[in-house]
């Protein structure tokens, strides 16, 4: 008997843009909140006009590098 499909819960991290910036033609606007969606092997950071994908390890490094423009809510 087949088991019903159970989707894995996606962790969502809220990040507030404290200074507008652009990275690889994706925009983060000061004062707006953006979501980083975590899966088992990927973090998708959803910008104003698209997303960037990172490994979980790289995402932690990106947060440190961008700490002057992004903060966790």
What is the pLDDT at residue 9?
A: 74
Question: pTM score > 0.75 for this model?
Answer: yes
Backbone angles phi, psi at 66, to 5 degrees: -100, 15
Q: Is the pLDDT of residue 1 over 60?
A: no
Model pLDDT for residues 29-57, shown as the tens digit of each residue:
999 999 999 998 999 999 999 999 999 99
> Is 17 in contact with 28 (CB distance < 8 Å)?
yes
Q: Which helix (H) or strand (E) holds 71?
A: strand 70-72
Half-sphere exposure of 48 (CA within 13 A, CB side): 15
User: How far lies 27's CA from each of 1, 6, 11, 22, 34, in Å?
Assistant: 48, 34, 22, 5, 11
């Amino acid at each position: 008997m087949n088991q019903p499909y159970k989707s894995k819960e996606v962790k969502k991290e809220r990040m507030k843009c404290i200074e507008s910036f652009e990275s690889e033609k994706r925009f983060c606007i000061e004062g707006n909140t953006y979501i980083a969606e975590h899966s088992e092997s990927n973090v998708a950071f959803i910008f104003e006009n698209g997303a960037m994908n990172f490994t979980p390890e790289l995402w932690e490094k990106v947060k440190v590098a961008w700490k002057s423009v992004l903060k966790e809510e």
